[in-house]
C-alpha cells in the first residue's frame, strides 16, 4: 500500500523522487523502490522522521507501536503524520508516539495500485486546513477520497477496505455463471470484470441511483428481471450487506485491542 501511494504521488507529480525517503527493513524492497521510483533510502525510521515534514505510516498494525515509538522523539508540531494502519485510532497513535504531531488517519484500498482507490480520511485535532487540502490531493492522486468522522472508520474498513475482496468474489461468480452458460473461461472473466467496471463508472459518472440504472436494463418479461429474481431468491443483496457488517465488526474488535 505504501508503494502504491509513492507511485501515485510521483505519477501525479506531487513530489519529486529525490524528495521521497523510504524505510523498509527488507534490503530487497528498498532496492526495488530505489530502482523503480528513484526514491532514496533512509537509514531507519527515526532518521526518516527527522528529515521529513510529512511521514506516512504504512506498516502492519502489529508493527505500528514499535515504529511510532521509534519516530516519536523526532516528530513535533512541524510533522504531518498520515497513518494508513487499519484499526489504529488517532488517540492510540498519539499515545504510542508520545509527541504532539499533526495527525491524519486514512483508510485506502488496494485498487490504489491501479489509480482507482477509494480512501476515507479523518483528521486529528491539530491538523490544519492546509494539511487537509494536501492529504486530499495526495489520496485523490490514487483514486477518490471522502472525509468521515473517525467513528465511521470501522464501517469504511468493512465497505471499501474489504470491499475489493467482495467484488472479486462477485466477478468470479459472474464469470462462473458465464462458463456454466457455455462461454470460454477467459472470455467470461473479461466480460465479468469489464461489466463491474462499467456499472461502477455509470453510478459514479451519471450520479443516477443504482436502482434507476438497474430498472433501465430490466425490461418487462425480459432476461434481466429473471436474473434479478434469482439474485433475490438466493438472498444475494442481504448476503453482501452481511459481509460489510461482518468486516466492520471485525475492524471494531481489532480497534478495541488498542483501547487504553
Ligand atoms: N492492503 C490493503 O488493502 C490495505 C488497505 C488499507 C489499509 N491498509 C493498511 O496499510 C498497512 C500496510 O498494509 P500492506 O498490505 O501494504 O502491508 P505490507 O505489504 O506488509 O507492507 C508493510 C511494509 O512495512 C514494512 N515494515 C515492517 N516492519 C517495519 C518497520 N519496523 N519499519 C519500517 N517498515 C517496516 C514491511 O517490510 P517487510 O515486508 O520487509 O516486513 C512492508 O514493506 C497496514 O497497516 C494495513 O492495515 C492496507
Condensed to tens digits (0 to 9), the pLDDT of residues 73-87 reads 999 888 999 999 988
Model confidence at 259, pLDDT cuts 50, 70, 90, reads low
The minimum-distance atom of ligand 1 relative to the CA of 85 is: 45
Mean pLDDT of 56-65: 93
Residue 33, ligand 1, Cβ within 6 A: no
Question: Reading across the β-sheet that carries 102-107, which strands appear in turn?
Answer: 54-57, 80-83, 102-107, 117-123, 143-147
Distance 258 CA to ligand 1 centre (A): 18
Confidence at residue 140, expressed as pLDDT on a 0 to 100 scale: 94
Examine the pLDDT at 147 and tell me if it is beyond 90. Answer: yes
Local structure of 43: helix, strand or coil: coil
Positive or negative torsion for Cα 37, 5, 98, 125: positive
Beta carbons of 44 and 23 less than 8 angstroms apart: yes
pTM of the prediction?
A: 0.91
Mean pLDDT of 174-182: 98
Distance 60 CA to ligand 1 centre (A): 4
Residue 83, ligand 1, Cβ within 6 A: no
Local structure of 97: helix, strand or coil: helix
Distance 10 CA to ligand 1 centre (A): 19
Residue 45, ligand 1, Cβ within 6 A: yes
Amino acid at each position: 500500500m505504501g508503494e502504491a501511494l509513492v507511485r501515485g504521488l510521483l505519477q501525479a507529480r506531487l513530489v519529486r523522487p529525490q524528495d521521497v525517503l523510504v524505510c523498509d527493513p527488507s534490503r530487497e524492497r528498498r532496492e526495488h523502490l530505489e530502482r523503480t521510483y528513484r526514491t532514496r533510502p533512509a537509514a531507519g525510521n527515526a532518521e526518516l522522521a527527522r528529515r521529513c515534514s510529512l511521514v506516512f505510516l504504512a506498516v502492519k498494525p502489529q508493527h505500528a507501536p514499535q515504529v511510532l515509538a521509534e519516530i516519536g522523539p523526532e516528530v513535533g508540531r512541524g510533522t504531518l503524520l498520515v497513518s494508513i494502519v487499519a484499526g489504529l485510532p488517532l488517540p492510540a497513535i498519539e499515545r504510542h508516539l508520545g509527541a504532539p504531531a499533526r495527525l491524519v488517519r486514512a483508510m485506502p484500498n488496494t485498487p490504489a495500485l491501479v489509480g482507482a482507490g477509494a480512501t476515507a480520511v479523518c483528521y486529528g485535532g491539530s491538523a490544519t486546513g492546509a494539511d487537509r487540502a494536501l492529504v486530499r490531493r495526495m489520496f485523490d492522486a490514487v483514486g477518490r477520497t471522502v472525509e468521515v468522522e473517525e467513528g465511521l472508520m470501522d464501517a469504511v474498513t468493512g465497505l471499501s477496505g474489504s470491499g475489493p475482496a467482495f467484488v472479486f468474489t462477485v466477478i468470479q461468480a459472474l464469470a462462473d455463471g458465464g462458463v456454466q452458460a457455455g462461454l470460454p473461461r477467459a472470455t467470461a472473466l473479461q466480460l465479468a470484470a469489464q461489466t463491474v467496471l462499467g456499472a461502477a463508472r455509470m453510478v459514479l459518472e451519471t450520479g443516477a441511483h443504482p436502482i434507476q440504472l438497474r430498472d433501465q436494463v430490466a425490461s418487462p418479461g425480459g432476461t434481466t428481471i429473471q436474473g434479478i429474481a434469482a439474485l433475490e431468491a438466493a438472498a444475494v443483496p442481504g448476503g453482501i450487506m452481511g459481509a460489510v457488517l461482518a468486516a466492520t465488526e471485525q475492524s471494531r474488535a481489532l480497534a478495541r485491542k488498542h483501547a487504553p
